[in-house]
Structure 1
Amino acid sequence: MSLTATPPTALADQVIAWLGTQQAAMEALLQEIVNIDSGSRQAAGVDQVAAVIGAHLERAGLSVQTQVFEGYGRCLQARLPAAPGGPTDAGHVLLLGHMDTVFPAGTASARPYRVEGHKAFGPGVADMKSGLVLNTFVLEALARVGGASRPVHLFFSCDEEIGSPVTRDAIRQAAQGAQVVLNAEPGRITGNVVTARKGSCLTVFEVQGVAAHAGINPAQGASAIEALAHKILALHALNGCEEGVTLNVGHIEGGMAANVVAPLAKAQLDLRYTAATDLDALLKRVREIIEAESLPRTQGRILSQHSTLPMAPTPPALLACYQRHATRLGFQVEGEFTGGAADSGITSSMGIPTLCALGPVGGYAHSEREFCQIDTLVPRAQALALTILDPA
């Protein structure tokens, strides 16, 4: 894909015109999938979202494939060949997205999709079910005009919100040979797109202590909870040890009862870092804190550790290409850096130019206030389609 040429006017006009008629259809699909619980590891719900989107794409004449990941659900793939006469050795454009959300089962029925003015609300409406809708309609629009000069592939994963533990290799496979990756994570609340992201590392650990009666013989015990408290303070003291590094122990559990010196405590640590961070050295410091004997007769150990890669900066030419088409459609965007990790880190680590947050504008993801600015569905879809249509 050339990042400086302008797409053929007639083809671009057809795509813009068709997408311009699809606002109601986009909202209908969005409502349908938001009202399906599809939290990470809710395999049945993820499969239902995949079935709804897959059926839509098949009605548009596209071939759809799924891949099952036991306990997590299906990934969805679709491929649109290049238009006749296009280069035979062209790398493809990959449209990326994820079908899982962070919300527990029952959330969709407790607070289903609703619209107030130009904002839609509901679990996952911004992150990232509206992006799934956008990618789906962009692929259909391109199919209707006979394809772009390059093949366009779509890949929707099932476990992004927990760091893509089972689909990482499948994402790499889908991205292999891609010329560019365009990820429809939600547009920033500013309207901007994302040109770099932090990576994340989730560390689950436990502290073992010694149980004792808290009233009769407390000195015979060793509190795992007290030891954990010391470790939390030490881990949080690492905040800012390098530029862009943040650590947060966001979940703890432990103990047996108020009158028992706690024999066990567990915690989950979220660590965020940049592409410039020496992650190995930082994780060594984390391990030393966790495994140190914070109190006599207590011992900490790591149970699991999983990292999501940071997204390397988007090449300026790719950002400029999208900006040019956004301007043509009447809106302006800039590139932003964000602390949130995404699957775009996987593809950028492969050296593939990647641009993220191309979905509709949204805000307050992962909360009850999460919203999607639904009047951005069509223009953001049009800008994405025009970016893809830039000829070789």
Structure 2
Amino acid sequence: MLTVREFARLTIDEAAGSIDLATVPASAFEWLARHGRDRGGAPSLVKLEGPRTLKLRNYVGVVETPCGTRIEILPKHIGSSEGVAQARRLLFNMVSEALNLTPRIGGGATIEAFDLPMTEWLAASFLAKALDLARRGPRQAYRSIEAREPFLRGRLDFNRQLRAAAGGAHMFHVTHDVYSLDRPENRLIRSAIEHIARRSMTSDNWRLARELSTLFADVPESRNIDADLKFWGRDRHLADYADIRPLCELLLTHRLPFALAGDYHGMSMLFPMERLFERYVLGSLRMIAPEHFEIHPQHGAMHLCSQEGEDWFQMKPDILVRRGDQRWIIDAKWKRLSNDRDKNYELSQADFYQLFAYGQKYLGGTGEMYLVYPAVSDFPMMRAPFKLSDNLLLHVLPFDLERRQAPYTFLAG
């Protein structure tokens, strides 16, 4: 297990290990160079900086190579190895918010101390939910079975019976229903349990997975994960299954809207950091905003322009807030600002152009908008907002990652 942070470098040369530079085996290096770079539109995990060095991109989580090397990638907002536990806690909180998970994960001291990679936390969360489901009793469903039996039960299949050979006339071709645990939801849960049992590196997760494998012994593993996910029931009788589905899907496919899919094997799980931060800011705002505020994520009602009645270039701000006729726009950027005025505090001119366009379309050129960045020790002190026009203001605010809040002025009013 190697622990680094976003944009760290991986090399096959001998190097003093740190969160920004790590030595990996040649087999892992070759696999990442082959499968982790740009390939016909697939997400890129690394870029080649030289024949012996790779640089990670802005994804966090864990990636496991076929040779067994696990690389844990933490958020870049940590200063030294002493901050690894804090960065893991932050990553866990962000992923929990994105997946709507209960923050409590098991009772193991190692998990509470945040000295396990994210994949093991999520595996522990899934196993805890699966155990709770097993104690309450998994749901069963009727399943139709076609059989050839020496006695009649269910419904006789006349077409098959008439086509039967004369020597088998004493056998009945029947169709009957059985009340069984063999249903898509249970098959996927069993598959996720076996996935953890085969790949987990912690004794607690492995032991609980083996126990659950016994409890779900009557349920076969899924033969077609995509098809079973498609037929996952959503009626009220399956309300107990709602919380476990995101974890099950993530463990088996890595194909949630904010997860990175690719040719990554084993206990791999990667997330684009910008999307996690956006969801973290969104969830935090929903926690503190009064009930009469409406909060809309990725609102895409407006377009930049139109031609001959056809709209072009959909505009989707991260968060649109409403209270009656008033509106505010919030955009979250996972970027570290500096206190260097000569470098414009590392603010992006393109971000300002984007917010200006949002202000014209969504606010009619009048109102207040917010650019939210993670708070750091040298975050620039800005006493006044930026004036994009006489009536359009842009606030640049720090977001406290631990307290999960930013000083939004519209909430104070």
Query: TM tier, shorter chain?
Result: under 0.3
TM-score, length of structure 2 as denominator length: 0.24
Q: TM-score, normalised by structure 1?
A: 0.25
Mark the structure with the bigger radius of gyration: 2
Q: Per chain length, whose mean CA-contact separation is higher, i.e. which structure has more relative contact order (CA < 8 Å, sep 6+)?
A: 1
